[in-house]
Amino acid sequence: MLGVGEMNWPASVTIKEVGPRDGLQNEKVFVSTEDKIAWINQLSGTGMKSIEITSFVNPKWIPALVDAAEVAKGIERVPGIVYSALVPNRQGLERALEADVDEAAVFMSASETHNHKNINKSIGATFPILREVVQEALSAGKSVRGYVSTVFGCPYEGPVSVDEVIRVSEALFDMGIGELSLGDTIGIANPKQVQDVLDILLKRFDARKLALHFHDTRGTALANILVSMDMGITTFDSSVGGLGGCPYAPGASGNVASEDLLYMLDTMGIQTGVHPEKLLAAARFIQDKIGRALPSRNLQVGSSDENG
């Protein structure tokens, strides 16, 4: 077993901000369109190179993001930043193209029950729908990202076999996605499990095409990121303030907080290009709009310092 000093850290990491989508989709408080736009504009000034701004899903399923088109059309587009949005089907893609997002993010689960609860289809019935979306998005000149949820466990079925993860991941890569984000949807993974799963996946998939998406429900997200980096992963999804959770995964809570991840990477000397104070300011902004303390540790350290 390797000691911490013998682990391999990358020189740089890409942090993908998913707060405006994953963060807000599960919030009871409706953040106004104007505030969402102001917040995303603020995030664009933090040095983040990829921001998932909203979802073009059925607004009856996700009312918090009913204003997807207004948000996508209202934000300032900073050259060099990829503005991405979740797209579940052709109707979603048409809306996303009309709002001119840069990237379509398609998503499905490695477990049948979560896939059904989340997108109302079996895994088998989801493939042809996403294949069409990916092809059309690519022909429209957009990049396409894929998500596999419940990689490390399902809220309905429990353990998920790595073979199922491979099957769904291969299908998504065959469709033409450029990057695959592996989701610990309910924040159940532990570092040993992450090593075991990545050990298998990295025999089939290029580490440079994989991202890890950890929710921090049980406090293991940073430890999971650490072992993922050691295994060659250099892209991680996170959410300002630690906002987030899947409404169709009972008990799911926020993504790892962007500023907690940034603190760890910065102090380890790993480059991200993200500015910590600007990120904290964006976290304070959304905390204020949500109206309660968010899970982010660094955000709370900042506020208790200020309060003495």
Binding site for Mg ion (CB under 5 A): 22
Residue 89 binds which entry of ligand HMG, Mg ion, none, with Cβ cut-offs from 5 to 8 Å by kind? ligand HMG
**Does the annotation count 154 as an active-site position?**
no
Q: Are 146 and 107 in contact, with CB atoms under 8 Å apart?
A: yes
Q: Which of 93, 165, 168, 246 is flagged as catalytic? A: 246
Binding mask 240-269 for ligand HMG (x = CB under 6 A): ------x-x---------------------
Residue 91 binds which entry of Mg ion, ligand HMG, none, with Cβ cut-offs from 5 to 8 Å by kind? ligand HMG
Binding span for ligand HMG by CB under 6 A among 2-10, 57-65, 223-231, 280-288: 57-65
For ligand HMG, the nearest residue by Cβ is: 183
Q: Which of residues 264-303 bind ligand HMG (CB under 6 A)?
A: none
Helix segments in the chain, DSSP class H = 24-25, 33-44, 68-74, 90-98, 112-119, 123-139, 162-175, 191-201, 221-230, 258-267, 276-290, 297-306
- Pick one of 42, 185, 238, 296: the residue that binds ligand HMG (CB under 6 A): 185
DSSP string, 212-251: EEEB-TTS-HHHHHHHHHHTT--EEEEBGGG----TTSTT
CA 131 and chain centroid, separation: 21
Cα distance between residue 113 and residue 157, in whole Å: 7
Which token pair is 255? 């993504």
172 counts as binding ligand HMG under rule CB under 6 A: no
135 counts as binding ligand HMG under rule CB under 6 A: no
Catalytic residues: 246
> Which residues would be at the binding site for ligand HMG (CB under 6 A)?
22, 25, 55-58, 61-62, 86, 88-89, 91-92, 95, 107, 118-120, 147, 149, 183, 185, 213, 215, 246, 248
